[in-house]
Amino acid sequence: MSQHPARPVRRGQQQRGRLNPFQTLAPSRRTRRPRRVAMLSVHTSPLHQPGTGDAGGMNVYIVELSKRLAALGVEVEVFTRATSSDLPPTVELAPGVLVRHVTAGPYEGLVKEELPAQLCAFTHGVLRTEAGLRPGHYDLVHSHYWLSGQVGWLAADRWGVPLVHTMHTMAKVKNAALAEGDTPEPAARVIGETQVVAAADRLIANTDDEAAELALHYDADPHRLAVVHPGVNLEVFRPAGPRDQGRGSPVDEAAVRAGRTAARARLGLPAEATVLLFAGRIQPLKAPDVLLRAVAVLLERDPSLRERLVVPVVGGPSGSGLARPESLHKLAAQLGICDIVRFHPPVGQPALVDWYRAATALVMPSHSESFGLVALEAQACGTPVVAAAVGGLPVAVQDGRTGFLVDGHDPHDWARVLQRFLDHADLGERLGAAAARRAARFGWGASAEATAEVYTEAMARAGGDPGRGASRLRRASAR
């Protein structure tokens, strides 16, 4: 959840985790990495502020992965839909990372569910851009989310290059764990995802469980699946700032305590309070209501907690949450906890780091999470996480060591776990120190190296399969 500085590029100016194969991949016929990758992100721009609209963990993923790939010598050009007529055609996000704005449909007012009707226009824009470049400009296409996969399937076939796809979320998985009152993903998305899974030369999953879900629900070929854990920017997300803690210093409870005290002073939070933080998009899928209801249970049991409990909610309405953007505020009023719940708009990285450090614990009651980058960010700052035992969160959070995992979404169950932080004042610091040490294993550099290996393997396989394009079309069309 961060905002990234970028600068426009003049018209005509060109910018030149670890891999866990779900099934062992065959040795490469060649080892050359791609020189340049076309990365597709149709519905959300890497330039947008995470925590608003449809911008979230996927934005962070694309930005951080692209930067690290560029550092490895793999240039990245990200195609995304233009959401304003004022946007320049191209923006340099970082050295070796270019964002291309594609005009597809009206600039404003389109929600994600309306974007399938604009995929033809978006694909035309992508293909037209490539046609104006020298032949072979892109060595590979990496698409993110199913909408981009539909475009990537056609672009990769036209250019004769491999398609690597990352799902991020899956309709069948989300529909199996819907929040009360949330809208199911439509059948058209399920069909579209099935086509993309069949068309992709390689599928990157965030966890082993996600890879298994792709195989189970979408009949993905295990030979085309690889697992690459996302990372966290360890230069930004740290238990304490450079002035408070030297680089490479051991992470201990004292460091966590120092960072928390300083952050609370900057944010105007009570020094001795128990601060239970929610950070992310406000929508039924993320279940911030579960946190509020659990807090109401705590106060019902012990009204005196009102004097030492603070619940910041940092984020904005998104997705299906836009239908009732004030619903969480109204719920806080109905529960009688408006005095301890503090709503704040999405923030950039420096302020977000302060919120993480200031919290006793980050609370993630999500109904579904592909991985949960916010959990890694918080832990890297020395903050334990209380998370739902869904999706990739059990990979990010070690139950009982770096936080707690909760089965289900019963507010009483969540209240019992949160009570531990109220009963044991040093629990957050003890778990937080362990959390920071664990998060240090998830740098984006390792994720980029592993992703580059997937690219290399995809290119090697493609080099030995002259009928790849026709095979891709047959697989996808059969779905």
- Residues 283-327: pLDDT tens digits? 898 999 999 999 999 999 999 999 999 999 999 876 554 545 588
pLDDT band at 476; cut points 50, 70, 90: low
Taking the C-alpha atoms of residue 378 and residue 439, their distance in angstroms, rounded to an integer, is 9
Same domain, 435 and 447: no
Same domain, 170 and 260: no
Among the residue ranges 61-65, 111-115, 298-302, the one predicted with the least confidence is: 111-115
Position 283 scores a pLDDT of: 86
Same domain, 184 and 303: no
Position 467 scores a pLDDT of: 57
- Of 290, 270, 265, 252, the residue nearest 414 (C-alpha): 290
The phi-psi region of residue 216 (left if phi > 0; otherwise alpha if psi is between -120 and 50; otherwise beta) is alpha
Taking the C-alpha atoms of residue 459 and residue 139, their distance in angstroms, rounded to an integer, is 8
pTM: 0.84
Residue 189 lies inside a defined structural domain of this protein: yes
| Residue 385 β-bridge partners | 362, 403
Taking the C-alpha atoms of residue 193 and residue 184, their distance in angstroms, rounded to an integer, is 15
Mean pLDDT of all residues in 38-66: 82
Number of domain units in the chain: 2
* Per-residue pLDDT tens digits for 386-403: 999 999 999 999 999 999
Same domain, 52 and 140: yes
The DSSP-derived string for 105-161 is S-SSS--GGGGGGGHHHHHHHHHHHHHTS-TT--SEEEEEHHHHHHHHHHHHHHHT-
Six-digit token pair at 330? 């109204």
Same domain, 141 and 175: yes
CB distance 454 to 202 below 8 Å: yes
What Cα–Cα distance (Å) separates residue 314 from each residue in 351, 352, 355, 427?
10, 9, 8, 23
Domain of 163, in residue numbers: 36-231+443-477
- Mean pLDDT across the chain, nearest whole number? 88
Same domain, 280 and 206: no
Mean pLDDT of all residues in 368-388: 94
pLDDT band at 370; cut points 50, 70, 90: confident
pLDDT at 447 exceeding the cut of 80? yes
CATH number at 322 reads 3.40.50.2000
For strand 274-279 and strand 90-94, is the pairing parallel, antiparallel, or unpaired? unpaired
Same domain, 396 and 310: yes
Six-digit token pair at 449? 């190296």
Position 240 scores a pLDDT of: 76
Mean pLDDT of all residues in 25-47: 78
Same domain, 297 and 379: yes
Residue 321 lies inside a defined structural domain of this protein: yes
pLDDT at 166 exceeding the cut of 60? yes
Same domain, 221 and 72: yes
pLDDT at 349 exceeding the cut of 50? yes
Position 54 scores a pLDDT of: 57
Position 47 scores a pLDDT of: 87
Mean pLDDT of all residues in 104-122: 90
Q: Which position has the token pair 């249970």? A: 297
pLDDT at 253 exceeding the cut of 90? no
| Residue 90 β-bridge partners | 9, 100
- Of 397, 392, 346, the residue nearest 372 (C-alpha): 392
H or E stretch at 82: none
Position 17 scores a pLDDT of: 41
Position 316 scores a pLDDT of: 83
| Residue 279 β-bridge partners | 314
Residue 25 lies inside a defined structural domain of this protein: no
* Per-residue pLDDT tens digits for 204-243: 999 999 999 999 999 999 999 999 999 999 999 988 754 4
Residue 12 lies inside a defined structural domain of this protein: no
Same domain, 123 and 203: yes
Same domain, 381 and 286: yes
pLDDT band at 464; cut points 50, 70, 90: low
Residue 463 lies inside a defined structural domain of this protein: yes
Mean pLDDT of all residues in 344-364: 94
* Per-residue pLDDT tens digits for 187-202: 999 999 999 999 999 9
The DSSP-derived string for 358-418 is H-SEEEE--S--SS-HHHHHHHHTT--EEEES-TTHHHHS-BTTTEEEE-S--HHHHHHHH
CB distance 344 to 328 below 8 Å: no
Position 25 scores a pLDDT of: 41
- Of 89, 85, 106, 107, the residue nearest 98 (C-alpha): 89
Mean pLDDT of all residues in 380-391: 96
221 three-class SS: coil
Residue 13 lies inside a defined structural domain of this protein: no
Residue 243 lies inside a defined structural domain of this protein: no
Rg (Cα) of the chain, in Å, rounded?
22
Same domain, 162 and 219: yes
Residue 121 lies inside a defined structural domain of this protein: yes
Give 437's contacts (C-beta < 8 A, 6+ positions apart): 251
Mean pLDDT of all residues in 351-376: 94
Position 26 scores a pLDDT of: 40
